[in-house]
């Protein structure tokens, strides 16, 4: 199968978040399975320094953006370690900037124009590069217009007639909403600016556009696919998703099992597998306590947290619970993250007042993230919502027991242990309602289980056995591409 991935970021060419990991890993895995993926991305300033060779193709093009004709150029590179071609769209006025979508905490004012240009370039590149494409796989609002251009303008041309389209939503909260006059920039007829297609409460909405025009829609976990069909997680677009629910599916992201492998992780004090975790974990825990200045108590449960310090991740609950637990229990806390100043302040205060219980690092550090995953006993993710989540999957692989709120991908990957109903499939602890007492109770259950070695060992063993690799996800995507092609063929008849 020939799949063209259109995305606004992909590792190692550009990255701001999880979208880049998916667009970097999934095509490589599809190639391993014998398919023929290619990737198309903007050539940002950071792309130039990504370490991959980039060569000019000598292909220039011009596309309309509103009343302007805008010139661009196609460059070629390749995914590291795989024969997956990567095409880069060069347009320095749009993409040679400090940030991908904004600078100094503000979005660029011409983001709509930039990604209209990129979306048109994707469709033009198919013709200019003579690409064989069975499925155009668009991702998030930045490429939401590509299924629309395909259906409205390009389907008239023979080479585009059989191209099916899939839109993957990585986070419903980001929709690419712009004022209505930006409709002029799309070059599409005003007749599409209606509540069933491109308009959303008087604005142009590019995510909605993709959801309406793509043959299939997917998101990054089955539970999130359900949740976004109603309020509040549908973020206003729940009606569109309900309408299109027959074409909506959820496929969990995979993890990079080479980067996150406790058997060979270079950042750890001791490497281990499921047979040696019992001996190695205390070494990793002691090293982490030493690194963070926490007392080296082996019997006190150590709770690890890594992530963006944002409302989405449940930090209001975390801080509420920590404030009480630091006074009443022997639990230690290791927190790594950056984000909203209010959480920085609250966490710093806790670390200052209770240095024997709380260690906080307000920075981005991949090596420390690895050491927390290995050295903590419990990994905490009480998210308000979580499209997929990766940290809980790293934890499972590292023999660190996750405590999560049962939402989105967390609900799909963590089977909660219940002391009343022991379950051989349990790999963590989960709570439902987004309230501090529910988190309290889940953490209390985890700490009780921690003191029962046979229960704890079983939880660790189940988690470490599971397969969260991209291979599993890629096979599901192949099935979805197949269905998408059938759907597109059926619609064309």
**Residues contributing to the site for ligand ADP (CB under 6 A):** 17-18, 306-308, 336-338, 364-366, 369, 388-391
Give the residue with the Cβ less far from ligand ADP, 23 or 163: 23
Give the residue with the Cβ less far from ligand ADP, 123 or 255: 255
Give the residue with the Cβ less far from ligand ADP, 365 or 458: 365
CB of 339 to ligand ADP, least distance (A): 8
Give the residue with the Cβ less far from ligand ADP, 388 or 446: 388
Question: CA-to-CA distance for 385 and 409, rounded, in angstroms?
Answer: 9
Give the residue with the Cβ less far from ligand ADP, 46 or 247: 46
Give me the DSSP letters along 316-382: HHHHHHHHHHHHH---EEEEE--B-HHHHHHHHHHHHH-TTTEEEE-S--HHHHHHHHHH-SEEEE-
Question: CA-to-CA distance for 231 and 202, rounded, in angstroms?
Answer: 20
Give the residue with the Cβ less far from ligand ADP, 184 or 366: 366
CB of 312 to ligand ADP, least distance (A): 7
**Residue 34, by phi and psi: left (phi above 0), alpha (psi -120 to 50) or beta?**
left
Neighbours of 199 (CB within 10 A): 18
Give the residue with the Cβ less far from ligand ADP, 39 or 336: 336
The number of helix segments (H) and strand segments (E) in the chain equals: 18, 20
CB of 369 to ligand ADP, least distance (A): 4
Q: 397 in helix, strand or coil?
A: helix
Any alpha helices (H) in 33-133, and if so which ranges?
45-48, 92-95, 111-128
CB of 365 to ligand ADP, least distance (A): 5
Give the residue with the Cβ less far from ligand ADP, 188 or 233: 233
Q: What is the DSSP letter of 385?
A: -
Question: CA-to-CA distance for 244 and 484, rounded, in angstroms?
Answer: 13
| CA pseudo-torsion sign 415, 232, 381, 413 | positive
CB of 216 to ligand ADP, least distance (A): 23
Q: Write out the two tokens for 301.
A: 């449960």
Furthest C-alpha separation in the chain: 71
CB of 53 to ligand ADP, least distance (A): 27
Q: 190 in helix, strand or coil?
A: helix
Give the residue with the Cβ less far from ligand ADP, 148 or 220: 220
CB of 72 to ligand ADP, least distance (A): 29
Question: CA-to-CA distance for 3 and 280, rounded, in angstroms?
Answer: 43
Give me the DSSP letters along 206-228: HHHHHHHHSSEEEES-HHHHHHT
CB of 36 to ligand ADP, least distance (A): 28
Give the residue with the Cβ less far from ligand ADP, 363 or 454: 363
CB of 195 to ligand ADP, least distance (A): 30
Question: CA-to-CA distance for 357 and 466, rounded, in angstroms?
Answer: 32
CB of 405 to ligand ADP, least distance (A): 13
Strands 164-169 and 216-219: parallel
Question: CA-to-CA distance for 326 and 90, rounded, in angstroms?
Answer: 53
Question: CA-to-CA distance for 227 and 158, rounded, in angstroms?
Answer: 39
Give the residue with the Cβ less far from ligand ADP, 92 or 259: 259
CB of 368 to ligand ADP, least distance (A): 7
């Amino acid at each position: 199968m020939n799949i063209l991935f259109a995305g606004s970021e992909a590792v190692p060419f550009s990255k701001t978040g999880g979208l880049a990991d998916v667009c970097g890993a999934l095509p490589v895995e599809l190639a391993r399975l014998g398919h023929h993926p290619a990737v198309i991305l903007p050539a940002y300033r950071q792309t130039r320094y990504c370490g991959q060779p980039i060569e000019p193709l000598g292909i220039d093009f011009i596309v309309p953006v509103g009343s302007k004709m805008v010139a661009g150029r196609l460059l070629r590179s390749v995914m590291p370690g795989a024969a997956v071609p990567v095409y880069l769209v060069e347009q320095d006025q749009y993409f040679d900037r400090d940030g991908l979508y904004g600078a100094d905490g503000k979005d660029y004012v011409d983001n709509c124009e930039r990604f209209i240009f990129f979306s048109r370039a994707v469709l033009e590149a198919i013709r200019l590069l003579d690409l064989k494409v069975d499925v155009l796989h668009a991702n998030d609002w930045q490429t939401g217009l590509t299924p629309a251009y395909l259906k409205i303008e390009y389907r008239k041309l023979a080479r585009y007639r059989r191209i099916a389209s899939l839109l993957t939503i990585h986070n419903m909260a980001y929709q690419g909403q712009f004022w209505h006059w930006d409709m002029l920039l799309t070059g599409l007829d005003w007749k599409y600016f209606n509540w069933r297609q491109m308009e959303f409460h008087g604005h142009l909405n590019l995510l909605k556009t993709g959801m309406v025009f793509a043959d299939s829609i997917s998101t990054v976990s089955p539970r999130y696919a359900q949740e976004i069909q109603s309020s509040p997680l549908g973020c206003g677009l729940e009606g569109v998703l309900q309408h299109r629910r027959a074409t909506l599916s959820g496929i969990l992201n995979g993890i990079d099992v080479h980067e996150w492998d406790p058997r060979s992780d270079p950042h750890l004090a001791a490497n281990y597998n499921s047979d040696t975790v019992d001996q190695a974990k205390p070494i990793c825990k002691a090293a982490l306590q030493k690194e963070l200045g926490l007392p080296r108590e082996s019997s006190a449960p150590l709770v690890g947290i890594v992530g963006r310090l944002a409302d989405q991740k449940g930090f209001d609950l975390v801080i509420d619970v920590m404030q009480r637990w630091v006074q009443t229990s022997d639990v230690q806390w290791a927190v790594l993250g950056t984000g909203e100043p209010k959480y920085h302040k609250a966490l710093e205060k806790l670390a200052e007042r209770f240095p024997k219980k709380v260690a906080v690092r307000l920075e981005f550090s991949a090596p420390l993230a690895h050491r927390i995953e290995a050295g903590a006993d419990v990994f905490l993710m009480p998210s308000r919502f979580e499209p997929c989540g990766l940290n809980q999957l790293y934890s499972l692989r590292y023999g660190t027991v996750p405590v999560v709120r049962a939402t989105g991908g967390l609900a799909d990957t963590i089977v909660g242990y219940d002391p009343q109903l022991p379950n051989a499939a349990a790999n963590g602890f989960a709570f439902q309602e987004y309230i501090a007492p529910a988190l309290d109770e889940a953490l209390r259950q985890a700490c009780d289980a921690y003191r029962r070695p046979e229960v704890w060992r079983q939880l660790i063993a189940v988690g470490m056995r599971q397969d969260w690799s991209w291979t599993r996800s890629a096979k599901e995507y192949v099935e979805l591409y197949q269905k998408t092609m059938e759907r597109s063929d059926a619609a064309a008849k």
